[in-house]
Amino acid sequence: MYTSVTKNKTGFLGGPQENVVLQRLDLGWNKLSLRAIESIKHGLQNSGTLKSLVLDNCGICDEGGSLVFSALKENNTLERLHMNANALSTSTCFMLASCLEGWSVAQ
């Protein structure tokens, strides 16, 4: 039997996509650079399996929050997003609220 693997296929955060199903990613309590958050944005935009993302206390400020929230518009699999204890302003939180319109939000 011949099996072909394409090297240019990438999954969440640029990792291999072949036979990988990522449903939960917990990066909580890790200081994330803006570059890391840009990778998370790319992963969110392209993930077809991620259901839960934990970014608690990651040092995310407004610019990083905006990147994550803009990716939510293109993601239809994420069910849970945890972003407690980050430095997000009120205006960024309002941007999140607009991204979540139509979502079922548990309290």
pLDDT at 85: 96
For residue 42, give every residue at least 6 positions away whose Cβ sits within 8 Å of its Cβ, in sequence order, or none: 13, 14, 71
52-54 sheet: strands from edge to edge? 24-26, 52-54, 80-82
**Is the per-residue pLDDT at 62 higher than 80?**
yes
9 inside domain:
no
1 inside domain:
no
3 inside domain:
no
69-99 pLDDT, tens digit per residue, is 999 888 989 999 999 999 999 999 888 888 7
Higher-confidence residue: 8 or 94? 94
104 inside domain:
no
10 inside domain:
no
38 inside domain:
yes
**Domain ranges, residue 82:** 21-95
For residues 57 and 85, is the Cβ–Cβ distance under 8 A?
Answer: yes
105 inside domain:
no
| CATH number of the domain bearing residue 35 | 3.80.10.10
Q: How many domains is the chain built from?
A: 1
Q: How far apart are CA 50 and CA 97, in angstroms?
A: 20
